[in-house]
Amino acid sequence: MKNKLTNTLRRFLPFLGVIVALAIHLLIEDSDEHPEAEEAYYTWILYFFLVTTFILGIVSTFVKKLKKSLEYSGAFWGGVGIVVAIIDIVIGKLALFPVLFFPKYDNILAQFFEGYEIILKCIWHSTKLLVTGFLYGAGFGFVTGVLLGFNKKFNYWINPYIKLIGPIPATIWIPISLTIFPTTFGASVFIIALSVWFSVALMTSSAIQAVPKAYFEVSRTLGASSAFQIFRVGIPAAMPSIFLGVFYGIISAFLALMTAEMFGVKYGIGWYISWQKAMLVYSGVYAGIIVIAVYCMLILTLLFKLRDKILNWQKGTLKW
Amino acid sequence: MVAENIENVKGAIHIDNLVKTFISNEGETVAALNGVNLDIPAGSFVSLIGPSGCGKTTLLRQIAGLAEPTSGGVFVDGKKITKPGADRGFAFQQATLFPWLNIRDNISLGLRARHVYKEHKQDVDEFIETVGLKGFEKSYPHELSGGMNQRASLARALVGHPDILLLDEPLGALDAFTRMAMQDEIHRLWKKYKTTMVMVTHDVDEALYLSNYVVVMKARPSKIEQVIKIDLPFPRVRTQDTFVLYRKKILEILNFAGKIPEPEYYL
């Protein structure tokens, strides 16, 4: 009985967290050092979460899957409420840090509510760059890796160059690519593609070389052609590591994207941050960082979902 | 060995003065096979037995075509072997199933590789049933036991109906009881499909339990010491007097019978 009660309580911990944050925000005055936002955006958001967490708590009583997951993660989300409240006290209420660089919640949220058009435009622009660059990079990287892994001659002639060029941070090439490519878009795509290309090529080729020889011998005794050995044996066996290469690739692509955007490209989240910084609007900088964090998290989640689908067979063999 | 074909006409192996040498790390030439001559009648079950380093696995890989001979050659039904082919199935010591394919796809791998899967779909079903894996078609190798994986690997090697099945210590990685059950399984498969079987093993009992002929090999220099015809009816009884006599004979050839030889070094 007691257990049941604590479990129910756990499901309402997020709701309690929001209550704490809301109480602190409403009961304590903001420091008057902060410039006042046009609307009480932070209060709106807290009301919104107050309602959603309460509804979630109620609904989870009837939905088994949600119940299980909330009983597990409820404490964490309650804790998030506390952390948010503490930051509110330190920054918003007491203004312990210079308010120019550490704006209160209302002002950061104002960037979203008042400037969502430009932020959405920037997200769209960054996505275009990232997807184009990533596809080129992953595609060429995969082909290079397969050639390096299977073709001894190609490996002999090309591999040393790849070892030489690969480890150089792709962003170093920004000044050069800006002069080579007619548009900054093309230059940025090149930089992103380059950074993805290396990690995908490296992981693909080493993974293919590490495929147990027995797999190829088995397929040869079964009458498999060379093409079959490459596409149906070598590549599938190397898939987990290739995926790891894609994973590293996308992380370096984020980095390249942000750097490229801060250097010369118009629009994009990286550009937005450096623009806001140049105008000393630090609330905009924080808004940009939040966008990037959420954005990267979404892409990685997508990538992991994809992995679970493609590499389903791996579940029992290895974990990472 | 006299060529007396047992029921089958295909899958006779003729090994003619086969030499295989390797270059060791010190740069010396080491002979793994030293002019081997052997005739294996079609449809027979032959075991290669001997201490490690006697070249029995090298010989098996030569028959499979997985390695080039230095001189001499292997002929199957009169044709010289230059590369692996679907007429010679191979079962490895490890099941070596592909972890990304389920059991059914693993078994049908060879058929798919040769683009004959559609015509032979029912063969796959038949073999899944024969090796007792019905109901596990959709399972992945890591979900099954070692014995089940090894049965799947036998099915994979046999589903294309090869004339010859080469077995490289296929039961070496299994525990004693699974092993004995699997020996019956292999015997049943041989009876049913009349494939010529060549098996490398360390286990004298296993060789005696399954084979028409036991080829005893010796190391340094590696060569065939003796070919013994096992004149016992199937199914064989491991405790029968004549069975024990054969075991004694083989162990004597291998210098393991009774008297303990003086060790070459002391620990």
B100 in reach of chain A (CB within 8 A): yes
My answer on whether A159 and A280 are in the same domain is yes
My answer on whether A168 and A312 are in the same domain is yes
Residue at which a domain ends, from A55, A75, A98: A98
Residue with tokens 């919640």: A105
Check: CB of residue A249 under 8 Å from CB of residue A196: yes
My answer on whether A138 and A178 are in the same domain is yes
Q: What is the pLDDT of residues B28-66, one digit of tens each?
A: 888 888 888 999 999 999 999 988 878 888 899 999 999
Rounded to 5 degrees, φ, ψ at B214 are: -115, 120
**Residue B230: which residues within 8 A CB-CB, separation 6 or more?**
B208, B211, B212, B213, B214, B246
My answer on whether A117 and A92 are in the same domain is no
Alpha-carbon gap, residue B30 to B130, rounded angstroms? 43
Task: Identify the CA nearest to A50 among candidates A89, A92, A84.
Answer: A84
A212 in reach of chain B (CB within 8 A): yes
Check: CB of residue B39 under 8 Å from CB of residue B5: no
**Gap from B91 CA to chain A (nearest CA, Å):** 8
| Domain count for chain A | 2
B147 vs A49, higher pLDDT: A49
Check: CB of residue B168 under 8 Å from CB of residue B91: yes
Residue at which a domain ends, from A81, A98, A115: A98
Residue at which a domain ends, from A43, A67, A98: A98
Mutant choice from A217, A221, A308 vs B, greatest count of B C-beta within 10 A: A221
Q: What is the pLDDT of residues B125-138, one digit of tens each?
A: 988 988 888 899 99
My answer on whether A83 and A197 are in the same domain is no
Return the exposure string of B205-236: e unless at least 16 CB atoms fall within 10 Å of the residue's CB, then b: bbbbbbbbbbbbbbeeebbbeeebebebeeeb
* Tokens at A312, concatenated: 């389903």
Q: What is the pLDDT of residues B200-212, one digit of tens each?
A: 998 888 999 999 9
Residue B2's pLDDT is 44
Helix (H) or strand (E) holding B233: none
B66 in reach of chain A (CB within 8 A): yes
My answer on whether A54 and A200 are in the same domain is no
My answer on whether A138 and A280 are in the same domain is yes
For chain A, positions 213-252, list CB contacts with chain B under 8 A.
Answer: 214-215, 217-225, 228, 232-233, 236-237, 239
The neighbouring-strand residues paired with B20 are B33
Domains of chain B, with CATH numbers? 1-80+206-256 (3.40.50.300)
Domain range enclosing A41 = 2-98
Region A33-42: what's the mean pLDDT? 87
Q: Quick one: pLDDT band at residue A61, thresholds 50, 70, 90?
A: confident
Does residue A219 surpass a pLDDT of 80? yes
**Gap from B2 CA to chain A (nearest CA, Å):** 28
Read off the CATH number of the domain in which A131 is found.
1.10.3720.10
Check: CB of residue A245 under 8 Å from CB of residue A204: yes
My answer on whether A266 and A153 are in the same domain is yes
The neighbouring-strand residues paired with B48 are B200, B215
Residue A320's pLDDT is 43
β-strand pairing of B13-23 with B29-40: antiparallel
My answer on whether A60 and A128 are in the same domain is no
My answer on whether A216 and A274 are in the same domain is yes
A21-25, A263-267, B146-150 — which is least confidently predicted?
A263-267
My answer on whether A111 and A247 are in the same domain is yes
My answer on whether A152 and A291 are in the same domain is yes
